[in-house]
A and B are shown apart, each in its own frame.
Chain A
């Protein structure tokens, strides 16, 4: 028995000295060159943002463009530990808004006749990937762009989710995402209906890599540089705090209103994803991207019209174009994209009838439910009201 006691003491000693896993990132105050907006609408919006952070959203950044004015605002904290205030110059995760950037990349390649949007994806993907997609010759590039392919979602496979959460520092390669749906049947007849799948955009990234060699570099040259976006980054480097400007991300793990710092998991996850995610930017530059797209600075008018050909739902309501989501806020039609992640949430939309652009980014994960979100949703309605003047 004495021997066992020694063994137990030894094991206990190992356990208590086991290192704690650091989940936070360094972030500091940044230099905001823009003056604080004093327009009544901006002041009303600031008040509403403050309400949002008062119900438990750690931090929020916002940018609004209207009638030639671009206002950037923020509230709350970029990092709770250390009480670092959130500022418009901080970099935030756009999450799935990256799909709009990816779609622009593909449409630009189509304009250069390097890809046929109605062509089969089997003509563009490497053999290694095609071996996992038994129905690739039934799917077109356009079906990936507008989520009508019927490919299964990698993101909801339990094996993927558990591996991701259990290994927060593990970088996933794009091919691994496809492995999670390898050999699986399509969920529905291709082209028959719309169903949003991240898998579609991972495949688009792989297709774009095949054409350009490095679609990330292509995106930098043909979108970021073209629009003068100096604070927008794609395929981010794992562990890089981008000059201590990248906000920390928080997660309500147990849906009970308590948040924990999930920055390492969030950062690694975003650093792994291509096509469906992977962009960090400032609130202002998110607006400049969408504005540039809508004003024809990135693609031709003909291509933009194509991007706005909406797939309809079963009620006949428009849902999604090519990398663009069609929705309504307070019954006001909006075009853009939203994004949600483990430690972040975002919205980037253009209201064509009002000619207003808006971007919101929060550093609280939106993929799992939280009582904080329920409170925040009520305030979001108020925010949309301020933005739209309703």
Chain B
């Protein structure tokens, strides 16, 4: 219940804080950081059954590129793999647009939404009958469209050298055509990770 109230408050706070301290004209962003995350996944309604999230671990890797050379609008690209022993593991490819205003000092919030493709595996060995014989198809699953939306909080202190920007987030994912009887299935992720902003060599110089 607390989470339900906390997040709308966070959104309101973000809206009132738009254009805060670091929203100046100085470029404060470096494209293509390495984004590594720990994912805690559950098939659950948004902000419900949070305990289940911590039963299912996963990892994510991704990167992002700024739409404006600034920190506040970025396009994210992620691959997440998670293990869910009850509902089946999954591999998720997604891209999201993120609005990332600064809050106080170097801390920032993030609201993101996008599109993805989810490959869902089965939790156990499965079978198909062909010519009267049952044959195993292992844990063969199904691909489906995913609609992700999420929020994050993080810390970003731009430096000219390699630096790390940690964050925590909550991602909601709606999976389409899970089966014919349940057309949309929600899954949620609690995310903890870091953007590692390396200094890439400038290949344009001799």
Residues of A within 8 A of B (CB): 1, 4, 8, 11-12, 14-15, 18-24, 54-56, 58, 77, 80-81, 83, 158-159, 161-163, 165-168, 250, 252-261, 265, 367-370
Contact = CB atoms under 8 A, between A and B. Distances in A.
A259 B125 CA distance: 9
A368 B44 contact: no
Interface string B117-134: 000101111111100101
B27 interface: no
A19 B182 contact: no
A254 B141 contact: yes
A18 B57 contact: yes
B17 to A, nearest CB: 31
Nearest to B142: A254
B189 to A, nearest CB: 13
Assign chain B's interface to a size class. Answer: 35 or more
Contacts of A168: 86
Contact of A253 (B57, B84, B179): B179
Interface string B22-33: 000000000000
5 nearest interchain CB pairs? A369-B180, A21-B85, A255-B179, A260-B126, A368-B181
B42 interface: yes
Given A158-B45, A165-B87, A168-B86, A56 B120 contact: no
B38 A80 contact: no
A159 B45 contact: yes
Contacts, number: 116
A253 B125 CA distance: 12
Given A18-B85, A258-B128, A260-B122, A11 B48 contact: no
Which of B88, B124, B141 neighbours the largest number of chain A CB atoms within 10 Å of its CB?
B124
Interface in B64-118: 81, 83-88
Interface of B: 36, 38, 42-45, 48-49, 52, 57-59, 81, 83-88, 120, 122-129, 132, 134, 137, 140-142, 178-182, 185-186, 196, 198
20 contacts: A14-B57, A18-B83, A21-B124, A23-B123, A81-B125, A163-B48, A165-B86, A166-B86, A250-B127, A254-B120, A254-B141, A254-B179, A255-B181, A256-B142, A259-B128, A260-B124, A260-B125, A261-B124, A369-B181, A370-B180
A259 to B, nearest CB: 6
A213 B36 CA distance: 56
B141 A367 contact: no
A167 B48 contact: no
Nearest to B45: A159
A24 B126 CA distance: 11
A113 B52 CA distance: 46
Nearest to B131: A54
Nearest to A367: B181
Contact of B179 (A15, A19, A20, A368): A368
Contacts of A252: 179
Given A4-B196, A166-B43, A166-B52, A258 B137 contact: yes
B71 to A, nearest CB: 22
A167 to B, nearest CB: 6
B134 A77 contact: yes
A259 B127 contact: yes
Which of B57, B81, B179, B198 neighbours the largest number of chain A CB atoms within 10 Å of its CB?
B179
A147 B83 CA distance: 41
A166 B83 contact: no
Nearest to B126: A260
B127 A258 contact: yes
Contact of A8 (B36, B44, B88, B182): B36
Given A260-B124, A260-B125, A368-B181, A159 B142 contact: no
Contacts of B180: 255, 368-370
A368 B132 CA distance: 23
